[in-house]
Structure 1
Amino acid sequence: MLQTRIPNAHGPAQVQGNDTATFEHTVSVALGLISRQYPVMIISVLLCLGMAGVYLLSAPKRYTATAVLLMDSRKMQGLQTQVGAAGENPIDTAMVDSQVEVLKSETIASAVIRDLRLLDSPEFMREDAGLLNGLNQLFATFFPEEKQSDAALMRSAIGRIVSGLTIKRVAQSYVIEISYQSLSPDLAARIANALAENYITDSLESKYQASRRAAVWLQDRLKELRAQASSAERAVADYKAKNNIVDAGGRLLTEQQLAEINSGLTEARAKRAEAEAKLQRITSILNADESDPQVILNDLATVNDSMANPVITKLRQTYLDYAAKASDWSNRYGPNHLAVVNLRNQMREIRRSILDELRRTAEAYKSDLAIANAREQASQKSLNDTIAVSNDTSQAQIVLRDLESNAQSARALSDNFLQLYMVSVQQQSFPITEARIITQASELSTPKTSPKTALVLLAGIVGGGILAGLVAIFLEMLDRVFRTVQQVERLLQTNCLASIPIVGAGADQGANGSLSRLKALMPFPSDWMPSPRPRSRPIPPTGQPSRAVEAGRPRMDRPDDRQLTIDDSVGRFAINSPFSRFAEAFRSIKLATDLSNYGSPHKVVAITSALPNEGKSTVSEALAQTTAQSGLRTLLIDGDIRNPSLTHRLGRSANVGLIEVVFGKVDLKDALWVDPQTNLHFLPCVVASRFSNSSDLLASAQMQKFFQDMRGQYDRIILDLSPLAPIIDVRATGTLADSYILVIEWAKSKIEVVERVIQETPVVRERLMGAVLNKVNVAAMSRYDTHSGGYYRNRYYSRYGYVD
């Protein structure tokens, strides 16, 4: 089988999603998408531009006037000494943002409406201009509404003010811009200035009213706070005298006594623990096993008091000297020597003396422990008594602290309210505001701000581009058909043998006409071009052998009524126009079938498709004509028993065919049709009525024997089969065909359908030589194959003499 490049299943499919995809590939994909969908994209862009134009023509022109306020944080010098630190808080960022919201409030808008008498201004009340407002007014003429009340008119006017108003802070400064948009520049300037002035007036009025209310309330509250502070201070003095609470340097006497007794108790406990530890250690030494004197001596060394006792120290030293002598004499004279025995007796007496001395020390420790316990108990009793007294004093002190805290809070609150009252009186006499107008709006400095022509057109272009891209991508997602060779190879995992261009009814060109045009185009001598082949070959006289018999082909009579006359057939176009792309595509398929012979014979090549009307019969005819013209003994068989379209086209008058030959009703030579120009043999399929068991016929032993006989008589057998999806006849040809060629109609065959029928037909999948893209629109295909688009251009073919 022809070995061509079959892309990996994960290759092209992952190019866009792969992180290593190059910028060039992305640009190529985008350009390919634009080249395929540019009509729809242009329509989308023009539609958005048209909508933008309609908006520009219908939208009313609006003007924006701007007044500028400054929130001045500096106080007037004359009031700084009076208000001082207790005055107003300095202006901060949050306060400026709060004033922006105040400017947007309905209170300011209502004041502006009343000052300018906007409810009586027709110019202001018809602010809602535009296409929608015109439609509303048109309907209002047919359906008049009731007259609105004053409150409803005020709400409507406030809504207009708020909708046209824009308040913003300039960066992080204290400057606020007040902008108002209107159909009239003069009205816009007047409303912007009125907003600023009414804001200042409202701020002054609010400060005056707040100061007046604060002064009245502070005066009454100050009297109450002074009485509460005096009463709280008297309660503190009375409670101290009643509970005998005396302090020295800010600390109660019971607290000092409690600290001293607690220190003495801690020291008594430490001494008791020390005496108890010494007694336990001496007792453990005395209770040790006397059979091991060395243990007693070692434990004795760990007691400090025993080491400080001169008697024990002298006895222990004597014991150690005797032990050394006993060991030395025992080594010299033996352990049973009288001197050694005497030394051991003396050592035993010394140990007894040491134990007696330790018992006397233990008795002393017992006495010390008893004294320590008595001291600890006395300190604990004294501590308990002091704690009882301190608890009573502490309970009284808790109440005292609450009384003192209340007195201090009442006095501090009274002082603060006194200071606030003084500040309020000063502010009430001369209220000030931090805001002032630094720029007033004027009609001359009011520009047109809506609609912005450039911005609207740019939005239309951008929106149109986005819409065009989305529409193009959506159409690409819906385009689930085969359009490129790479797509066929990647999705079906097989070779794409050729792309057959579409030819119309008038596309048939004779060989003479093609060659004459080619001679005129190519710069070669006219005698270099081969002479056109004759359209037909003379039939040899009866009894005279033909060239087919001389070449070893099966001899048969070829009467005139069984000669193929197919000069006007699309399948004949490959013979009549040998220098066309159509003919070159079939030479490519023929070459693939030739190369497939290497290794194992592939004489029977079956042509099929997924669905009807994809051109499989035309491909079968053209491939058979091309193969026969090359000199191979070629047999074309119409194997589509259910719908023998090839027979209807090439041999309408045939009355016998494949079925009769297979079952031995007629001889092969009586059923064959012959093309006199290419010597192609065609075996039709004649079906008089509907044939239901066509698959049984194709799988029968007679059919297998017939094809086995044909393999010996012909070099190549082209078998036109039925489509894969509608019927199951192709599945019964596993013993007949050596390989299969799948015909796919360009831009029509659905990918899902072709993949499904290939999966459901294992015999075709395993022996599939390749696929053929049929009815290809070459100009459109170059737009879909961005990598090989130039391959389809005619100027490259014309260099080698090809003419479409």
Structure 2
Amino acid sequence: MPVDEQHRMVGLREILDLVRRRLVLLISVVVLGTALAAAYAHYAPKSYRAISMVVLERTDTRPFASEPDLKSLERDRSAADTELDVLTSRIFLGRVVDKLDLINDPEFNTYLDPDTNANDKASGASGASGASGASGASGNFFSNIVAKVKSLFASDQGPLPPVSKQRDRAITKVFSKIAVARTGESLAVTVTVTHDDPDLAAAIANAIASLYVEASLEFKRDDRVADSARAVATGGAVAFLRERVTQPLLVTLRGEEAQLLRERAELAPSLGKNHPKMLNVEAELASVQRMIGTEIQRILLDLENEAAKPSARVVSLAEVPTAPYFPVPSLIIAGGFVGSSVLAALLMIMLEAADTRIRDSGQIRRILRTPNLASVPTVAAKDIKNNLNIPEYLMRRPQSPFAEAMRSIYVACRIPGTDRLHKVISFTSSLPGEGTTTCALGLALSAVADGQRTLLVDLDLHHCEVAKALKLEVNDLSLDRYLQGECSVSEVLHKVPNWHGLDVIAPSQRQKEPGILLNSSRFRELFQAVRPHYDIIIVDTPPILSVEDANWVSPLADAVILVVSWASTTEDVLAKAATRLRMTQAPLLGTVLNNVVTRAKRRKGTSNGIA
């Protein structure tokens, strides 16, 4: 027999069930998200990145600097970082603007009319090849749209502002398109320029590199002038170096010079100028001074040569990029796929959290505090297409899961502790289409198969499905005729062919106001008359939330079974139906979860065929 699903924690099986239920949503969101990402990758403006590199010299020597000054000029981290600031300074970028005449480019000087520049770029793109071919056309798609929109709202331009203000605007735009960086303690500085025109990106990167080298040489020359002025103020370059340069050789020679000068000073008072000792000291002193002068001249020449060299050199010029830096279609499409997958998962979780439809017996027990008697699986769609109604299906397939579920309902209808059945059992549901007639028929046929004298009463006077399912012709001998006093109880009892022991009372046609017929003494007399003659009486009633007909049966029933449709009845609707039953003090025996789609059948069409 089928076993009710137990309440359990979410596991792999539940996740797979969720994916199956929301598969259409999952596929739709992922396909749409990936398609949008692909469209963006194709039509987004293309950005090209050009990279040049300059290397800062480790020492920056000035011709008249002392040794402590030379040591302080060694490129430490702070000095290198300062050079990075120089590269991005507005004064330096102003040189770049002037060299490339960017003040006349509307993209940099936004005060100018952009139409002229757009037309120039369009004509240039039509004749370009490689990177600026088809990709450029698609890349300008969004740019053209933006330009069109701006032109709609743009007012007539007045006179242009001063040139200095236009130049400042161009400098600001250049600053927004460059990035200057170095790695760790390296003295190599990388200049990166990002622009939608690959040629212009390379031109700006190379201009920054070359202009920085020129500027470093200019700065050195300015420092040389300042140092020369200081040297003149202290007695000339040689005297300046003689006093301040402290290289080892010069220190030694100056020490020897000082010693000889002391010796000459000591000998002068006691010896004459022509004394051999005095002549010897004078010769040695002259030799040392010549050596000092020669060394100073050599140092001065070296420093002059060094000062003529720039403080940086270009090691790599930017080449014109052939492939856009952005967008990268593969990354964007992959990102769109992953992002849309995550979005689809979140939507599925949100919808699942908001979905209160009943899918397991645990939900029913939590709301009603009553047991679920059975979970009735759906009948294969091929059997419905073969015109197999419920009786024929149970007869041909007595071992099917559907038949087992019906026998479970039959067993659950026994009075606890006895072998007796509840005499009058009423089936109802919350809303139409949840399967009360199917369950009532199944229980009746299961009781007959067990040898019970069974009466099936169709009190759903709005649809009249029982007679149709059993292929009975009730004609004038119908329930509605009996309730109107036109025939007796024995006349409205109809035998069902091939099902010995099963009698049926059914209406002949739909009634406009069935409540008037059910709220009558003849209705109550009907159940009093048939009770002694049957082992079990099964009553099919309409939905309790749609009409009040089921309430007339509750006082006459020994047990009421509430049919719940799997993945259709919501928790709120079920709670309302339970409240309505409690208001009438209906003896609720339990529920039947109907139309359950088992995992093996979820990929196939299934239906129970009868409401």
- With the shorter chain as reference, the TM-score category is 0.5 to 0.7
What pairs up with 1:755-766 in 2 under 5 angstroms? Answer: 755-762=575-582
1:32 pairs, out of 17, 23, 44, with: 17
Give the counterpart letter for 1:673 in structure 2. H
| Aligned residue number for residue 140 of structure 2 | 130
What pairs up with 1:397-796 in 2 under 5 angstroms? Answer: 436-437=312-313, 439-443=315-319, 448-485=324-361, 487-488=363-364, 492-493=368-369, 494-502=371-379, 507=384, 509=386, 569-570=389-390, 572-575=392-395, 577-578=397-398, 580-594=400-414, 598=418, 601-640=421-460, 646=466, 653-657=475-479, 660=482, 666-679=487-500, 680-685=502-507, 690-692=513-515, 697=520, 707=527, 710-762=530-582, 767-778=587-598, 782=602
1:55 pairs, out of 22, 29, 40, with: 40
Q: Percent identity?
A: 25
Instruction: Report the alpha carbon displacement of residue 689 of structure 1 after superposing the two structures with TM.
Output: 5.4
d(CA) in 2 for partners of 1:73 and 1:685? 107
d(CA) in 2 for partners of 1:473 and 1:32? 12
Range moving further from structure 2, 42-51 or 196-205? 196-205
**Secondary structure of the corresponding residue to residue 676 of structure 1:** coil
Is the contact made by 1:731 and 1:763 (CA closer than 8 Å) also made in structure 2?
no
Deviations 1:492-526 (A, max 9, x none): 5522503231566971658xxxxxxxxxxxxxxxx
Q: Over the residues paired in the alignment, what is the CA RMSD in angstroms? A: 4.8
Unmatched runs of 5 consecutive residues or more in structure 2:
109-116, 122-135, 230-305, 607-611
Give the counterpart letter for 1:719 in structure 2. V
Deviations 1:74-121 (A, max 9, x none): 45385652664996797445x655654553444433321211224567
Is the contact made by 1:508 and 1:577 (CA closer than 8 Å) also made in structure 2?
no
**Secondary structure of the corresponding residue to residue 475 of structure 2:** coil
Instruction: Report the alpha carbon displacement of residue 675 of structure 1 after superposing the two structures with TM.
Output: 0.7
Deviations 1:383-425 (A, max 9, x none): xxxxxxxxxxxxxxxxxxxxxxxxxxxxxxxxxxxxxxxxxxx
Q: Does 1:187 align with 2:200?
A: yes
Question: Could you state the TM-score of these two structures normalised by the residue count of structure 2?
Answer: 0.66
Is the contact made by 2:413 and 2:421 (CA closer than 8 Å) also made in structure 1?
no
Instruction: Report the alpha carbon displacement of residue 670 of structure 1 after superposing the two structures with TM.
Output: 1.4
Give the counterpart letter for 2:513 in structure 1. R
d(CA) in 1 for partners of 2:31 and 2:385? 41
Range moving further from structure 2, 757-766 or 30-39? 757-766
Is the contact made by 1:484 and 1:781 (CA closer than 8 Å) also made in structure 2?
no
Change (3 A) 1:499 1:98: farther
Is the contact made by 1:572 and 1:622 (CA closer than 8 Å) also made in structure 2?
no
Instruction: Report the alpha carbon displacement of residue 767 of structure 1 after superposing the two structures with TM.
Output: 4.2
d(CA) in 1 for partners of 2:473 and 2:225? 116
Instruction: Report the alpha carbon displacement of residue 607 of structure 1 after superposing the two structures with TM.
Output: 0.7
What pairs up with 1:194-593 in 2 under 5 angstroms? Answer: 194-199=207-212, 436-437=312-313, 439-443=315-319, 448-485=324-361, 487-488=363-364, 492-493=368-369, 494-502=371-379, 507=384, 509=386, 569-570=389-390, 572-575=392-395, 577-578=397-398, 580-593=400-413
| Aligned residue number for residue 131 of structure 2 | none
| Aligned residue number for residue 340 of structure 1 | none
**Secondary structure of the corresponding residue to residue 498 of structure 2:** coil
**Secondary structure of the corresponding residue to residue 606 of structure 1:** strand
Give the counterpart letter for 2:538 in structure 1. I
Instruction: Report the alpha carbon displacement of residue 622 of structure 1 after superposing the two structures with TM.
Output: 3.3
d(CA) in 2 for partners of 1:640 and 1:211? 111
Change (3 A) 1:667 1:432: farther
**Secondary structure of the corresponding residue to residue 475 of structure 1:** helix
Deviations 1:640-676 (A, max 9, x none): 4666554677555245527847x98753211212112
**Secondary structure of the corresponding residue to residue 569 of structure 2:** coil
| Aligned residue number for residue 191 of structure 2 | 178
**Secondary structure of the corresponding residue to residue 66 of structure 2:** helix
d(CA) in 1 for partners of 2:442 and 2:452? 14
Give the counterpart letter for 2:143 in structure 1. N
Change (3 A) 1:744 1:782: same
Is the contact made by 1:609 and 1:743 (CA closer than 8 Å) also made in structure 2?
yes
**Secondary structure of the corresponding residue to residue 480 of structure 1:** coil
**Secondary structure of the corresponding residue to residue 614 of structure 1:** coil
Range moving further from structure 2, 123-132 or 577-586? 123-132
d(CA) in 2 for partners of 1:765 and 1:208? 106
d(CA) in 1 for partners of 2:310 and 2:367? 76
2:96 pairs, out of 104, 108, 112, with: 112
Give the counterpart letter for 1:108 in structure 2. F
d(CA) in 1 for partners of 2:585 and 2:218? 93
Deviations 1:113-133 (A, max 9, x none): 211224567999667952212
d(CA) in 2 for partners of 1:110 and 1:652? 102
Q: Quick check: which one's helix share is greater? A: 1
Instruction: Report the alpha carbon displacement of residue 36 of structure 1 after superposing the two structures with TM.
Output: 2.6
d(CA) in 1 for partners of 2:343 and 2:600? 23
d(CA) in 2 for partners of 1:766 and 1:172? 86
Question: Could you state the TM-score of these two structures normalised by the residue count of structure 1?
Answer: 0.52
Instruction: Report the alpha carbon displacement of residue 197 of structure 1 after superposing the two structures with TM.
Output: 3.9
